[in-house]
């Protein structure tokens, strides 16, 4: 029965080691690996001792068990120290190993010296090989070393429970159980004085514990590596949370940014149910939002993550799963932080969520100041440009007034025609006329007062003549169109937008052209006449008809309306007729007010 127990323990320990090898990762704690190698060897020693039939085989098997007992406690202790204290002193490690090798060297003298066993007698009890020993001085030192290993391990665990929040309660409890089981089972076994050792079963339990915490341990290790890397690279904070929303850890920079993180213990839920405005609640909300977006976008668990800093989502278009990163800006305690949330990847699988915290206070404030400066500068430039524009407009209008004051026949013509153009364009905009954009409309209205600037070049004898022109005088008057285009070009060149300059030139140059080609100065026909000039032509003629001149009385609105309508298709662009008709009431109301002096 005892033989079967030892054989079963040996087989189970071999299976445990095979599972460990299957789950091996490149960053697995080296002392875990040594434990899993040593445990089957130690259990094999107990089984070989149980089936021994003579003293030499029994002593060899016993030496193997001593190897296990000697180094297992060392590896357990070193596993605990490296887990919770990070880098350990090389001198400490060398001394511990040297002490264990010296003790094992003493065990190798069994049968040749009495420093380890003073006496050893082999017997078979109930079919099980047993060695009855009388312990020597070095074996007593072995007890001391075993206890020393346990004390160091337990001391580190107690310290971590109290003062190190950056470790997992789960792994602390497991290691505590290992130390208690290891020490108590050894003492119980010695107290029983039986030929049955509990150590093989104890070793199998150790394997189960180590396999349980191995993945979490690797995750915490990689988290610390990433955190240290971030500290080395610059001033970025970093924290990690598992898929089950348990806190994995954070670097010192993150704790400096947000001191609340220093109070969190690893393996505890990452939330603050008492304060929705705490930094933990805010960061947990970012993670929850990231999860929801990830679920919506079908993020996967089996591919490498892609760090997309220039865009929010890095999608794969062939129905594969994709990962993404989310960015948030957090203002807190006078600081501005950029928070990046992404997957925490390990062994090509998603193991949780990673938050990077970047202090952008200086950059953001500088950018804000720069933006405000640019806005102020743009505002000042806009004001100065507007002022210059006003001066230019007044100069042009002043020039137009000067021309009109020279012409005894057209008092108020510039103002009235500008208003007619504005009314006609309003109707076109209501109808959403094709090709009519806001900039064009503004340009035409602004250009209307310039349409007769060319009259400044016409001789006073012709311009100020109180009656009708002779054919020769009319030919001289007709030159004002081409002259007006030249003047507009010179006045506006290099001070106005090219589009407005061209529209203003066209208004001045071609407002006397006719749709049938019988107008002047170039006899343009139909669509060859610029559209802005066609609009100006209607305004110019309508004002001439309904206004009193020195050579004629004003015409009634009805007569003027009929004349304009009859000219559609011959003198004017027929497409503009519906807008002229639609504007009739507004035009008549305006001219009525103008005659009464109210406009």
Asked whether residue 5 carries a pLDDT value surpassing 60, the answer given is: yes
Q: b/e map of 55-93 (b: 16 or more CB within 10 Å)?
A: eeebbebbbbbbbbbbbbbbbbbbbbbbbbeeeeeeeee
Look at 497 and 526; give whichever has higher pLDDT: 526
Residue 326 and residue 264 share a domain: yes
Residue 233's pLDDT is: 45
**Residue 47, helix vs strand vs coil:** helix
Q: Whats the size of the chain, residue-wise?
A: 599
Look at 191 and 330; give whichever has higher pLDDT: 330
> Strand 117-125 relative to strand 128-135: parallel, antiparallel, unpaired?
antiparallel
Residue 290 and residue 160 share a domain: no
Look at 572 and 159; give whichever has higher pLDDT: 572
**Residue 193, helix vs strand vs coil:** coil
In the chain, how many domains are there?
3
Look at 131 and 511; give whichever has higher pLDDT: 511
Q: How many whole angstroms separate alpha carbon 136 and alpha carbon 251?
A: 51
Backbone torsions φ then ψ of 93, nearest 5 degrees:
-65, -45
Residue 182 and residue 70 share a domain: yes
> Are the C-beta atoms of 209 and 178 separated by less than 8 Å?
yes
**Residue 341, helix vs strand vs coil:** strand
Q: Which residue has the tokens 């091996």?
A: 24
Q: Which residues pair with 357 in a beta bridge?
A: 237, 339
Q: How many whole angstroms separate alpha carbon 299 and alpha carbon 344?
A: 13
3-state secondary structure 504-569: HHHHHHHCCCCCCCCCCCCCCCHHHCCHHHHHHHHHHHHHHHHCCECCECCCCHHHHHHHHHHHEC
Asked whether residue 409 carries a pLDDT value surpassing 60, the answer given is: no
User: 361-365, 402-406, 559-563: which has the minimum mean pLDDT?
Assistant: 402-406
Residue 203 and residue 264 share a domain: no
User: 90-94, 268-272, 458-462, 485-489: which has the minimum mean pLDDT?
Assistant: 458-462
Domain span at residue 564 reads 382-595
Residue 459 has, within 13 A of its CA and on its CB side, a CA count of: 8
Give all strands (DSSP E) within 274-432, no chain letters.
326-332, 335-346, 349-359
> For 368-392, what is each residue's pLDDT tens digit?
788 888 888 888 877 776 766 676 6
Q: What is the CATH number of the domain that holds 256?
A: 3.30.450.20
**Residue 439, helix vs strand vs coil:** helix
Dihedral sign for Cα atoms in the order 255, 259, 262, 264? negative
Dihedral sign for Cα atoms in the order 266, 269, 270, 276? negative
**Within a domain: residue 221?**
no
Dihedral sign for Cα atoms in the order 32, 35, 37, 39? negative
Q: What is the CATH number of the domain that holds 557?
A: 1.10.3210.10
Last residue of a domain, one of 359, 374, 395: 359
**Within a domain: residue 290?**
yes
> Strand 349-359 relative to strand 237-242: parallel, antiparallel, unpaired?
antiparallel
**Within a domain: residue 572?**
yes
Nearest Cα to Cα of residue 512 among 486, 492, 544, 540: 540
**Within a domain: residue 222?**
no
Residue 551 and residue 513 share a domain: yes
Last residue of a domain, one of 153, 180, 215: 215
Q: Kindly state the percentage of the chain with pLDDT values over 70.
A: 81
Last residue of a domain, one of 324, 359, 394: 359
Residue 283 and residue 194 share a domain: no
Residue 178 and residue 98 share a domain: yes
Residue 347 and residue 315 share a domain: yes
pLDDT band at 228 (very low <50, low <70, confident <90, very high): very low
Q: How many whole angstroms separate alpha carbon 368 and alpha carbon 360?
A: 12
97 C-beta neighbours (distance < 10 Å), count: 13
> Are the C-beta atoms of 177 and 150 separated by less than 8 Å?
no
Asked whether residue 405 carries a pLDDT value surpassing 80, the answer given is: no
Q: b/e map of 355-392 (b: 16 or more CB within 10 Å)?
A: bbbbbeeeebeeeeeeeeeeeeeeeeeeeeeeeeeeee
Residue 227's pLDDT is: 46
Asked whether residue 414 carries a pLDDT value surpassing 70, the answer given is: yes
**Within a domain: residue 324?**
yes
**Structure tokens given for 306:** 């892609």
Residue 264 has, within 13 A of its CA and on its CB side, a CA count of: 28
Q: How many whole angstroms separate alpha carbon 155 and alpha carbon 311?
A: 49
Residue 407 and residue 536 share a domain: yes
Nearest Cα to Cα of residue 189 among 198, 180, 200, 177: 198
**Within a domain: residue 224?**
no
Residue 484 and residue 410 share a domain: yes
176 C-beta neighbours (distance < 10 Å), count: 17
**Structure tokens given for 214:** 């191995």
Average pLDDT over residues 193-213: 78
Q: How buried is residue 260: exposed, middle or buried, by Cβ count under 10 Å (0-12/13-18/19+)?
A: middle
If phi > 0 it is left, if psi is from -120 to 50 it is alpha, else beta; for residue 192 that is alpha
Q: Which residues pair with 123 in a beta bridge?
A: 130
**Structure tokens given for 195:** 């030929």
**Within a domain: residue 376?**
no
Highest mean pLDDT among 112-126, 434-448, 454-468, 507-521: 507-521
DSSP letter string, 387-423:
HHHHHHHHHHHHHHHHHHHH-TT-TTHHHHHHHHHHH
Residue 164's pLDDT is: 60
> For 441-454, what is each residue's pLDDT tens digit?
999 998 898 888 88
Does the predicted TM-score (pTM) go above 0.85?
Answer: no
pLDDT band at 400 (very low <50, low <70, confident <90, very high): low
Residue 98 and residue 133 share a domain: yes
400 C-beta neighbours (distance < 10 Å), count: 22
**Structure tokens given for 50:** 């149980």
Average pLDDT over residues 515-520: 94
**Structure tokens given for 446:** 């602004």
Q: b/e map of 120-155 (b: 16 or more CB within 10 Å)?
A: bebeeeeebbbbeeeebebbebbeebbeebbebbbe
**Within a domain: residue 83?**
yes
Average pLDDT over residues 255-261: 89
pLDDT band at 513 (very low <50, low <70, confident <90, very high): very high
Look at 23 and 591; give whichever has higher pLDDT: 591
Residue 260 and residue 122 share a domain: no
Average pLDDT over residues 65-91: 81
Q: Which residue has the tokens 């299957």?
A: 22
Q: How buried is residue 98: exposed, middle or buried, by Cβ count under 10 Å (0-12/13-18/19+)?
A: exposed
């Amino acid at each position: 029965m005892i033989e079967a127990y030892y054989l079963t323990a040996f087989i189970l320990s071999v299976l445990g080691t095979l599972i460990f090898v299957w789950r091996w990762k490149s960053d697995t704690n080296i002392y875990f690996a040594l434990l899993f190698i040593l445990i089957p060897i130690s259990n094999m020693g107990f089984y070989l001792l149980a089936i021994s039939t003579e003293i030499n085989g029994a002593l060899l098997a016993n030496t193997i068990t001593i190897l296990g007992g000697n180094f297992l406690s060392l590896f357990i202790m070193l596993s605990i120290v490296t887990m919770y204290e990070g880098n350990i002193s090389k001198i400490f490690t060398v001394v511990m190993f040297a002490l264990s090798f010296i003790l094992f060297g003493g065990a190798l003298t069994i049968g040749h010296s009495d420093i380890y066993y003073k006496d050893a007698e082999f017997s078979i009890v109930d079919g099980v090989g047993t060695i009855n020993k009388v312990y020597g001085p070095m074996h007593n030192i072995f007890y001391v070393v075993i206890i020393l290993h346990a004390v160091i391990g337990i001391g580190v665990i107690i310290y971590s429970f109290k003062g190190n929040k950056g470790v997992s309660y789960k792994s602390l409890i497991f290691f505590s159980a290992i130390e208690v089981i290891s020490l108590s089972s050894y003492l119980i076994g010695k107290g029983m004085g039986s030929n049955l050792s509990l150590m093989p079963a104890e070793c199998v339990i150790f394997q189960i514990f180590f396999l349980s915490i191995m993945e979490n341990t690797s995750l915490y290790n990689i988290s610390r590596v990433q955190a240290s890397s971030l500290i080395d690279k610059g001033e970025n904070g970093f924290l990690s949370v598992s898929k089950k929303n348990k806190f994995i850890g954070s670097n010192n920079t993150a704790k400096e940014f947000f001191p609340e993180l220093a109070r969190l213990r690893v393996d505890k839920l990452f939330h603050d149910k008492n304060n929705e405005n705490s930094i933990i609640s805010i960061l947990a909300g970012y993670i929850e939002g990231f999860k929801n977006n990830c679920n919506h976008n079908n993020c996967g668990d089996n591919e490498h993550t892609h760090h997309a800093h220039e865009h929010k989502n890095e999608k794969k278009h062939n129905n594969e799963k994709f990962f993404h990163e989310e960015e948030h800006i957090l203002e807190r305690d006078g600081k501005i932080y950029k928070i990046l949330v992404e997957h925490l990847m390990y062994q090509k699988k998603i193991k949780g969520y990673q938050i990077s915290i970047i202090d952008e206070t200086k950059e953001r404030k500088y950018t804000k100041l720069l933006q405000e400066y640019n806005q102020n500068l743009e505002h000042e430039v806009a004001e100065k440009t507007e002022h210059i524009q006003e001066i230019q407009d007044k100069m042009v209008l002043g020039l137009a007034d000067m021309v009109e004051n020279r012409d005894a026949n057209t008092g108020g013509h510039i103002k009235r025609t500008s208003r007619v153009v504005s009314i006609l364009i309003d109707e076109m905009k209501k109808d959403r006329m094709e090709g009519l954009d806001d900039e064009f409309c503004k340009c035409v209205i602004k250009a209307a007062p310039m349409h007769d600037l060319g009259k400044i070049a016409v001789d006073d004898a012709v311009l100020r003549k109180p009656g009708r022109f002779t054919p020769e005088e009319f030919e001289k008057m007709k030159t004002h169109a081409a002259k007006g285009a030249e003047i507009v070009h010179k006045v506006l060149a290099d001070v106005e937008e090219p589009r407005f300059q061209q529209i203003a030139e066209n208004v001045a140059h071609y407002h006397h052209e006719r749709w049938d080609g019988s107008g002047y100065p170039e006899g343009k026909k139909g669509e060859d006449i610029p559209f802005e000039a066609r609009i100006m032509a209607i305004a110019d003629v309508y004002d001439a008809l309904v206004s009193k001149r020195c050579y004629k009385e004003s015409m009634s609105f009805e007569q003027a309306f009929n004349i304009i309508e009859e000219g559609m298709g011959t003198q004017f662009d027929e497409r503009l007729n519906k807008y002229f008709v639609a504007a009739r009431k507004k035009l008549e109301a305006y001219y009525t007010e103008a005659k009464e002096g109210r406009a």
